[in-house]
Amino acid sequence: MNFLNRQIALVSISIFFALPIYGESQESTPESVEKQSETPAKIEQQPSLKLSKQAQEKIDAIKKEAKKKKDHIIQQEENLERFRTTGICIGCDLSGLNLNEAIKHLTKNKISINLKDANLEEVIIIGQDLTKSNFSNANLTNAIVMNCNAQKSNLTGAILKGTNVQGSDFDFAFLNDATINWSTNLKNATIDKVVIVDPTARFKLNSFYNVYNIWNKNKEN
């Protein structure tokens, strides 16, 4: 029995000295270093989560639309600056912008305005001098052009659907083939001595005033 106990004790002591003591760092071997270095690489090589084709298409569409809006804003800023400095912005897009400060600057420096073929939808122009300005074939749909002096201005072929020209003076203006409709606000506008062709009613009349009265009468009936 004593002999067996001694054998067990010897085996226990051998195992104790053969194992590393808890808390001590193991000696690094080439094999262990290689395994440790492989771990991050293996993690990096794990495939990323893939989106469905439909989800990716939606993301791409959102990015494309955001870029389009950003490019449009940048282009409009460039157009506005060119108009403010030169008075010329033929065929450019100024839609939705407030043009008052730019026109004030042009008037102060006696620079004429040429916005032929321009997109001027929903622009704001209030109380400005537009004398002899060129708005031919411009799109002024739903624009606000109130209390302006637009005498001798060229609005030939301009689109004035829903345009608010209340209180503006269009004496001697060129309005041949200009497009207006029921939503065009002509209240208190001076519109004598101009010629207009209404493409809807096909009236060739001597003034906006007559067109307004005829349309108003037809509307009441």
User: What are the structural domain ranges in the chain?
Assistant: 64-220
- Over range 116-141, report the average pLDDT: 97
Between the CA of residue 171 and those of 122, 168, 200, 208, what are the distances in Å? 23, 9, 23, 10
Length of the chain (residues)? 221
Q: Which residue has the tokens 């209404």?
A: 198
Q: Is the pLDDT of residue 209 over 80?
A: no
**Between residues 179 and 116, the one the model is more confident about:** 116
Report CA Rg, the chain.
40
CATH number of 64-220: 2.160.20
Q: Per residue in 152-188, is it b (16+ CB within 10 Å) or e — as a string?
A: ebbbbbbbbbbbbbebbbbeebbbebbbbeeebbbee
Residue pLDDT, tens place only, 152-180: 999 999 999 999 999 999 888 888 888 88
Q: How far apart are the C-alpha atoms of 91 and 184, rounded to whole Å? A: 23
Q: What pLDDT shows up at residue 35?
A: 53
At 169 the three-state DSSP class reads strand
Q: What pLDDT shows up at residue 64?
A: 83
Q: What pLDDT shows up at residue 200?
A: 46
- The pLDDT-based confidence of 78 (bands split at 50, 70, 90) is very high
The answer to whether the beta carbons of residues 152 and 130 sit under 8 Å apart is no
Which residues are within 8 A (CB) of 94 and not within 5 positions of it... i.e. 6 or more apart? Answer: 76, 79, 80, 83, 115, 118, 119, 120, 123
The answer to whether the beta carbons of residues 160 and 178 sit under 8 Å apart is yes
- The pLDDT-based confidence of 215 (bands split at 50, 70, 90) is very low
- Least confident span in 132-141, 182-191, 206-215: 206-215
Q: What pLDDT shows up at residue 46?
A: 57
